[in-house]
Chain A
Amino acid sequence: MPESPNPRKVYVSHPGSGLARSNFPLECHVEDGEIVRSLPFHIPDDVRLYEIETTDRGSYSRPRKEVQMPLALAAKQRVHANTRVKYPLLRDGWSPESPNGAGRGSDSFTPISWDKALDIIVSQLGRIREKYGSMEPVLVQADGHGQSGYLQSLHFWGHYLFDMLREHKGWGWWTQQVRNPDSWEGYYWGAKHVWGFDDSLGEPMQDAVWDDVLEHAEMVIFSGCDAEATGFGMSGGIALEMPKWLKKAGIKIVSISPDLNHASAVHADTWIPIKPNTDAALYLAVAHVWLAEGTYDKDYIDTHTVGFEALEAHVRGDDDGIEKSPAWGEKVTGIPAATIKALAREWAAKKTTLSVYFGGPKIRGTLSHLAARMEAYVLAMQGVGSPGRQFLRIGAPSFYKKNIAQVPRYPDVDFHGLAFSPMIEYAIGRGPKSPVFIPRSLAAEAIQQRKISWKSTTAALAKAEDQFTSYQYPPSEDHPGIRMVWNENGSQPGSWGHGWNWLEALRSDDLDFVVGVHPWLENDLTFSDLILPAQTNYEHEDLVVVQRSDVLGLFYQEAAVEPVGESKSDYEIHRMIGQRLGLDDAFPPVDDWLKASYEETLAATRDDISWDEFKDRKYVIYDCPTWKEWVDIKKEFGYSEHTGGLHWFWDKADGLETPSGKIEFVSERISKLDPDSEERPPLAKWIAHAELGDSAKAKSYPLIVMSNHPKYRFHVQGDDIEWIRELGKIKGVDGYYYEPCWMHPEDAAARGIEHGDIIMVHNDRGAILFAALVTERIIPGALSIDHGAKIDFGLLDNRKIDRGGCINLIAPTVQEKYEKGAEIEVPEMNISGFLVDAEKIDPLRIEPGAGVNFETVTGGNQTGDAA
């Protein structure tokens, strides 16, 4: 690294982004090879920011200062974390002849050289090919969910490597893991059948929606919306700014959620606590009031929708004998009937927009597709798309747009300003490239069971019809199934369902070889046979593609620090393997790839900034249009000055991606393709199920867990940083930092639990330890536990427990709603809304460390050439 001014200023991709795109990068100051501080980036004065203008509510812009989330400032602490994988690590109990699967997760590792690691990989791939004739027995799990640069720290290279082996070497297909719509299950599996929007996972497109909301809306419902959770991770500081716009515009905020979440606790005017996963019942009771009082948009129902009579009949109870009155709603949701009526009247009287952020408790539970459809129904009853009545995705300044962005931007900048990695298609695509694939939510079952069958590819951008196509794994009777796993996730047990079962699956002797590629020895990575040491974003050059923010740009990232140990970037790791297998041309040098990507962008093609000049000046940030320019741009796409969002549909009453082109209360597609579905009938209904508080199971497990994105972690990242633990955890009497579990004082008192006590939350799937956070911010009967805590197995009275607080370990599987062997009709992921009980335990009885001992295995005191 050349010596340069002290401190050297380096722009580093935001660790809380992903999928080849970033927020504004960290501005890191490097002195003597160490990162001494990370500062907010200030957008220079010569970049024009946007102003959203309104008639009489003022104008709205963003600050020039772009703040970073706490995790981003703290991420430098992960570079030298004691869990860092410094050298290729080989599991001691593994040999090519005897994989000894049961030792995964508990065996120790030995550092080996890169040469030996590559030898092993090449020979294992060779074995697979020789024995089975193709790469199909290799499950490639490479679809992100961690830190991600544009090229170097991208997590999709596994798919690319195997795709290139197929294309250039004729090695056949591989088993592609397909990423399900993890934050947006309910909209994907449900709302798509009401209003379409395949390209935005079932949520309405967000074109210029703020222009409409800030001009017209009088009330915004935060439906589990928490922009302060993972807030500035996925969307940058603008996610924190947007709720303030609502306040400034004088718009009332009503928060409907089991918890008073972080954003609502400071921004909401009213909180309506609701029992987890009963939103569908609330919407039905609200519809009941509107029907009784005639306060819905009847003309809109006539012109813009089909099948409304069926909803009316269901609300009356014609079909199931249950009138969905506010009194009934109170019984199911826990919201007083008087409050339901007040909400319904206010919603009808005021121009009301409904708002969500990432995830939220409503949308990732059992049958959340019904709640999402019901939500679309009630929005339709109030004429969604009319001025001020929109579906608002807070913090989606750059995605979910059809023609123009959520905030004023030039369309050519949106579509040609940035470098777009073709690798994204492997993860967030319209479907798997390989005809041999498995949904991510079914990866464990694919290993454990000889045959599973399900509907839908689960690909994020798949067409709605795909949800009615049947698939199976293995694809044929004589297929060997999965024999090898290529894991670039590291997030499976902490962010997906029943993580415990995934870890069990990894211990299968059917798996000859498990490869992990990751910077840290953590979570399911400890269940690998060979771990390849990947780098953090701080250790290599890359492009930073600022696409997750409201203002777009490109940065050149230099290496901030020397690589740790013998770690390589994700790209270099796959390149080295590719070169061993004769794929040199598929993996050009880093600078060539970055240069070629850059040269496609407007910075090069329009603004004539050469690659070398760009590297020299370090960034290009695109201007936003003036309001006048923006209004002209909007005109081209049919919007007037103060309209946006679904206004076009309100205008046209046609053009949705549903078969009828209208909002469908009764789905024509479901009526045709799956008319008898009890789980997802043509008309969404209230359907009670096993994970609700009045089910038979609730007798043993009377509490229901809701789980949202964490505030300080980013999914599974961050728990190993002391600064993040100090903020997000509760220190137990034993000195251990426990994950908090929110619990109402009533539930705590009933169990003799006090604030700060260590508790065991358990169900038939396992037992996890937490510290009780006794609070008025959660509805009685529910617990709120964020996903993604770092796993740390131990024993409590000889029972295996996770002391780390990873709640997803005991979330349901996609399969368990169905009889084993039966086709999985709606493979929705349920990680928020499942039954448990909680009891106080004595932390001094915990025997820690029933698993890999991190301190001894990362090669900390050993040299890299031990092999």
Chain B
Amino acid sequence: MSNKNFLIDVDKCTGCNLCVVACKDEHVDSNYEPWTQPQPEGGHFWMNVKPLERGTIPRVRMNFLPTLCQHCEDAPCIPACPEGAIKTRDDGLVWIDAALCTGCGDCQPACPYDVIYKNDNLNIAQKCTGCAHRIDEGELPRCADACPHDAIVFGELGDESSLEELHPEFDAKPRVRWKGLPQPWITGLLIDVNADEVVIGATVTATDLNDGTIITTTSGAFGEFWIKDLAAGHDYRVEISHPTYELSSAPVTADGDTDLGTLELKASP
């Protein structure tokens, strides 16, 4: 087992998609057997930068999830293959042996990460090999080599305990590690409607009604507040306090991002 692994840092990814094209540049028209045969010209995204548009105008942000095969320890694709064509290398990379693959496609629905593609010309299933052919030569996988922001890193990650997994609930023991996976936020704009001014410096707290955790922020120079990294699915009570305004509160369930919109604060009596 090699101690080198992929680390995807969502906070660093700008969605440039260089990794996607680098993967195509490496694999289209090039044969790297046994690890894989040529990728077709189009339609395959062994590296797939999934855009995630969050929020409503004007409080909108983009996150991107550069998604490749998670090279799972308990990869559901392996038992799904009737030919035993899907194998795990000593270094943990999962690969599809084209010599054994009959193109039946059973592995595709088995993969919860949706990273397996059918090559209709060659009648085989294909996916990210982790650039096994390059790693064996001491080179970086092309996606990591192309990334301008170190959002995709391949190497010795050291202590992985603080790192995340993509969809741990799939129970596939994915090997690829993540940082900064998006968590729900609550945002809004505070306005003093009588003065027609934004309210700056209000204290905004979100209390987790499930476990009592409190997250606090203040409204910024444009009257906006963002409470980030909430626990998905938890219920929160949001309270907005400011010396010159009446206390305001709202219940929020963090089953996604919430924009409370423009909140009109009333001056304290």
Interface set of A (CB-CB < 8 Å, partner B): 34, 36-40, 63, 65, 67-70, 73-74, 76, 228, 231-232, 237, 240-241, 244, 254, 260, 262-263, 265-267, 269-273, 326-327, 337-339, 341-343, 345-346, 712, 722-723, 726-727, 744, 775-780
Contact = CB atoms under 8 A, between A and B. Distances in A.
A744 B61 CA distance: 15
A256 B24 CA distance: 35
Nearest to B262: A336
Given A74-B21, A776-B56, A228 B16 contact: yes
Contacts of A254: 222
A272 B198 CA distance: 14
B25 A67 contact: no
A201 to B, nearest CB: 27
Contacts of A776: 53, 55-57, 60
Contact of B14 (A68, A240, A726): A240
A269 B149 CA distance: 19
Contact of B17 (A326, A339, A727): A727
A237 B148 CA distance: 7
Given A39-B145, A266-B15, A273-B58, A70 B21 contact: yes
A70 B197 contact: no
B235 interface: no
Contacts of B221: 270, 342, 345-346
A36 B196 contact: no
A782 B142 CA distance: 38
B178 to A, nearest CB: 17
Given A265-B60, A342-B221, A777 B53 contact: yes
B223 interface: yes
Nearest to B197: A338
B188 to A, nearest CB: 14
Contacts of B215: none
A244 B151 CA distance: 13
Given A73-B18, A271-B58, A342-B198, A37 B224 contact: no
A342 B223 contact: yes
Nearest to B25: A73
Contact of A67 (B42, B59, B146): B146
A342 B200 contact: yes
B219 to A, nearest CB: 10
B164 interface: no
Contact of A723 (B16, B21, B142, B222): B21
Interface in B1-42: 13-18, 20-22, 24-26, 29-30, 41-42
Contacts of B62: 260, 262, 265-266, 777
B220 interface: yes
Contacts of A34: 29
Contacts of B148: 63, 65, 67, 232, 237, 240-241
A39 B145 CA distance: 8
A582 to B, nearest CB: 46
B191 interface: yes
B2 to A, nearest CB: 23
Contacts of A262: 14-15, 62
A338 B57 contact: no
Given A36-B29, A272-B58, 20 more contacts: A37-B26, A228-B15, A237-B148, A240-B148, A241-B148, A260-B58, A260-B60, A265-B62, A271-B58, A273-B58, A338-B198, A339-B222, A342-B197, A342-B221, A727-B17, A776-B53, A776-B56, A777-B60, A777-B62, A780-B57
Interface in B118-173: 142, 145-149
B53 A346 contact: no
Contacts of B191: 338
A726 B20 CA distance: 10
B21 A263 contact: no
Scoring A63, A73, A232, A744 by chain B CB atoms within 10 A of each residue's CB, the highest score goes to: A73
Nearest to A71: B21
A611 B139 CA distance: 33
Contacts of B147: 67
25 contacts: A38-B25, A65-B145, A68-B18, A73-B18, A73-B21, A73-B25, A73-B146, A240-B148, A260-B58, A262-B15, A265-B15, A266-B14, A266-B15, A266-B61, A270-B221, A271-B60, A337-B196, A338-B197, A338-B198, A339-B198, A341-B198, A342-B198, A346-B222, A776-B55, A777-B60
B55 A228 contact: no
Contacts of A271: 58-60
Contacts of A272: 58, 222
Nearest to A724: B21
A67 B18 contact: yes
Given A70-B20, A346-B221, A722-B42, A341 B197 contact: yes
Contacts of A722: 41-42
Contacts of A341: 196-198
A228 B53 contact: no
Nearest to B200: A342
Contacts of B24: 73-74, 723
Scoring B29, B61, B198, B221 by chain A CB atoms within 10 A of each residue's CB, the highest score goes to: B221
Contacts of B14: 228, 240, 262-263, 266-267
A744 B57 contact: yes
A347 to B, nearest CB: 10
B138 to A, nearest CB: 14
A784 to B, nearest CB: 13
A265 B61 contact: yes
Contacts of A265: 15, 60-62
Which 8 residue pairs across A and B have the least CB separation, nearest first?
Answer: A265-B62, A70-B21, A722-B42, A67-B148, A346-B221, A73-B21, A73-B25, A266-B14
A339 B57 CA distance: 14
B198 A240 contact: no
A775 B142 CA distance: 31
Interface in B213-237: 220-224
Contacts of A778: 57
Contacts of B18: 67-70, 73
B149 A240 contact: yes
A34 B24 CA distance: 15
A38 B25 CA distance: 7
Contacts of A68: 18
A172 B121 CA distance: 59
A47 to B, nearest CB: 19
Given A37-B25, A40-B146, A270-B222, A338 B53 contact: no
A223 to B, nearest CB: 16
A74 B17 CA distance: 12
Scoring A39, A338, A744 by chain B CB atoms within 10 A of each residue's CB, the highest score goes to: A338
A777 B96 CA distance: 40
Contacts of B222: 254, 270, 272, 339, 342-343, 346
A68 B19 CA distance: 11
Nearest to A746: B57
B185 to A, nearest CB: 14
Contacts of A232: 16, 148
Contacts of B149: 240, 244
A629 to B, nearest CB: 28
Contacts of B198: 338-339, 341-342
B245 to A, nearest CB: 14
A74 B15 contact: no
A263 B149 CA distance: 13
B16 A240 contact: yes
Nearest to A327: B196
Nearest to B57: A776
A74 B21 CA distance: 7
Scoring B15, B41, B222 by chain A CB atoms within 10 A of each residue's CB, the highest score goes to: B222
Contacts of A263: 14
A726 B59 CA distance: 28
Nearest to B147: A67
Nearest to A728: B17
A74 B191 CA distance: 49
A228 to B, nearest CB: 6
A744 B41 CA distance: 33
